[in-house]
Amino acid sequence: MQAPFSSIVPGSVVPPTLRVESELHDLRLDLRRWFEKNDPGPQPFEYEARMAALTRWQRQIHRAGFVGLSWPTEFGGGGMGLAAEAVLCQELAATSMPQLINRIALYTWGPTILSRGTPAQKARFLPGMLDASEIWCQGFSEPDAGSDLAAVRTRAQVSGDMLVVDGQKVWTSRAELSKWNALLVRTDPEGVRHSGLSVLIVDMGSPGVTVRPLLQMLGEPHFSEVFFDGVEVPLENVLGGLGNGWDVSMEAMAYERGLFVLERTTGLRRRFADLVDRLDALGKIEGAVASLGVLESKLDLLDAQVLRTLGHQENGTLVPGSSSVDKLFLADVYQDLFATAFDHLSDEGLDDGWIHDLLESRSVSIYSGTSEIQRNVIARRLLGL
């Protein structure tokens, strides 16, 4: 038996991808000119100095009018499409600091608030995201709820017009720098698994919040344990309604896999260019030509995947679960790039930066859903298994 043709053609065999070539030419030139003039030079190696420099950098880019290009103008954005963000990412990649410190806010929680937030939440939270005056973190993982996120036990009880939060999160990135925490908690103690969860926007300066930095593999206090002991959070800080935490979180994760992956990708491009420079300076480029070809083609493929995802996001046609492909492949390319760099530079030319990046690359297949979890999602949502 043969399936009818219309049922096998997904309507998107050749889905339109975000076009970044000819569109927005003026924006690209503006950015290029501005970045050339204002490039702050290599980022400090030392963690705290690096964080401070990155914060200043985002503030500066914001002042020039280039942060939040796709956000509505009424909230301080540029009122443009996602293609503008893509162009920013690409041009930012050519600078010495190819990342925005507040990316969790810009790429994940900002879009979620734009989609699900109340007018008051939009007015309160969006501006501080753009100028990096209020850094965001995301409190999902707990000691007993990692991959199995629905097992979160941190709870929040309604008491008048407040919620009172008790529990513990772990691996919260940049918690010590953050003003706000998008916190996934159980608000209905009777709720099973995905029901009864809510996302709260928690002020990290509230009484009862304790942040205990954890060193990661590189010895940097990149993430923390965060303890909540009777922390009061106004009810108006519930994002997307009480009990809708699972949906809100999943929507946030879908955003994360669009621009966030694009941003990581452009950062990788930058490091790839560094690698080519390094090999050239060492006179080793000829011997590495095939490896460089592999990396270049994987980077192009990753770009193609992300641009397609963004094209779907822009058109509202993103298939749930499909952006797991982006995350899975990002980890693959990320780890391949730094492993290749290590292999080709091991005899000479391997500075601490390359060692740092190789070690750090191991985190990419763990954070925001491990590669195994992405495969589970693809199996379940795309293949229906």
Ligand X SMILES: Cc1cc2nc3c(=O)[nH]c(=O)nc-3n(C[C@H](O)[C@H](O)[C@H](O)COP(=O)(O)OP(=O)(O)OC[C@H]3O[C@@H](n4cnc5c(N)ncnc54)[C@H](O)[C@@H]3O)c2cc1C
Residue from 134, 176, 251, 256 carrying the catalytic annotation: 256
* Residue 383: Cβ within 10 Å count: 8
**DSSP-derived secondary structure letter, 278:** H
Does residue number 99 form part of the binding site for ligand X (CB under 6 A)?
no
Does residue number 14 form part of the binding site for another protein (CB under 8 A)?
yes
Of these, 28, 257, 270, 298, which contacts another protein (CB under 8 A)?
Answer: 298
Beta-bridge partner residues of 203: 180
Question: Which of these segments, 5-13, 75-83, 102-110, 191-199, binds another protein (CB under 8 A)?
Answer: 5-13
Does residue number 218 form part of the binding site for another protein (CB under 8 A)?
no
Collapsed DSSP state (helix, strand, coil) of residue 233: strand
CB of 122 within 8 A of CB of 113?
yes
Does residue number 379 form part of the binding site for ligand X (CB under 6 A)?
no
Pairwise CA distance, residues 139 & 183, whole Å: 5
* Pick 85 or 256: Cβ nearer ligand X: 256
Contacts of 149 (CB under 8 A, 6+ apart): 140, 141, 184, 249
Is residue 74 flagged as an active site residue? Answer: no
Question: Which of these segments, 157-165, 171-179, 203-211, 300-308, binds ligand X (CB under 6 A)?
Answer: 171-179
Does residue number 141 form part of the binding site for ligand X (CB under 6 A)?
yes
* Letter string b/e over residues 279-300, b meaning 16 or more CB atoms within 10 A of that residue's CB: beeeebbeebeebbeebeebbe
- Look at residue 2 and give the partner it binds from another protein, ligand X, none, a contact being a CB closer than 5 to 8 Å depending on partner kind: another protein
> Two tokens at 94?
């050519």
Q: How many residues make contact with another protein (CB under 8 A)?
A: 48
Of these, 223, 255, 260, 354, which contacts ligand X (CB under 6 A)?
Answer: 223
Of these, 211, 253, 328, 358, which contacts another protein (CB under 8 A)?
Answer: 328
Question: Which of these segments, 10-18, 45-53, 230-238, 364-372, binds ligand X (CB under 6 A)?
Answer: 364-372
Alpha helices by DSSP H, listed for the chain, are 5-8, 25-38, 47-63, 82-92, 103, 110-116, 119-130, 245-255, 261-281, 289-315, 324-345, 352-361, 371-377
Q: How many residues make contact with ligand X (CB under 6 A)?
A: 20
Question: Which of these segments, 50-58, 189-197, 213-221, 325-333, binds another protein (CB under 8 A)?
Answer: 325-333
Of these, 173, 224, 265, 305, which contacts ligand X (CB under 6 A)?
Answer: 173
Of these, 307, 330, 337, 345, which contacts another protein (CB under 8 A)?
Answer: 307
Question: Which of these segments, 46-54, 90-98, 142-150, 296-304, binds another protein (CB under 8 A)?
Answer: 296-304
Does residue number 300 form part of the binding site for another protein (CB under 8 A)?
yes
Does residue number 339 form part of the binding site for another protein (CB under 8 A)?
no
Pairwise CA distance, residues 212 & 240, whole Å: 29
* Pick 236 or 300: Cβ nearer another protein: 300
Pairwise CA distance, residues 380 & 191, whole Å: 23
Nearest to 299 by CA among 268, 259, 274, 254: 268
Pairwise CA distance, residues 239 & 111, whole Å: 12
Pairwise CA distance, residues 301 & 289, whole Å: 18
* Pick 306 or 364: Cβ nearer ligand X: 364
Burial of 350 from C-beta contacts in 10 A (0-12 / 13-18 / 19+): middle
Pairwise CA distance, residues 318 & 312, whole Å: 5
* Residue 23: Cβ within 10 Å count: 15
Does residue number 70 form part of the binding site for ligand X (CB under 6 A)?
no
Residues in 358-377 that interact with another protein by CB under 8 A: 372, 374-376
**Sites of contact with ligand X (CB under 6 A):** 137-141, 146-147, 171-173, 223, 363, 366-370, 372-373, 376
**Sites of contact with another protein (CB under 8 A):** 2, 5-6, 8-9, 13-17, 19, 21-22, 276, 280, 285, 288-294, 296-298, 300-301, 303-305, 307-308, 311, 322, 324-325, 328-329, 372, 374-376, 378-379, 382-383, 385
Which are the catalytic amino acids? 256
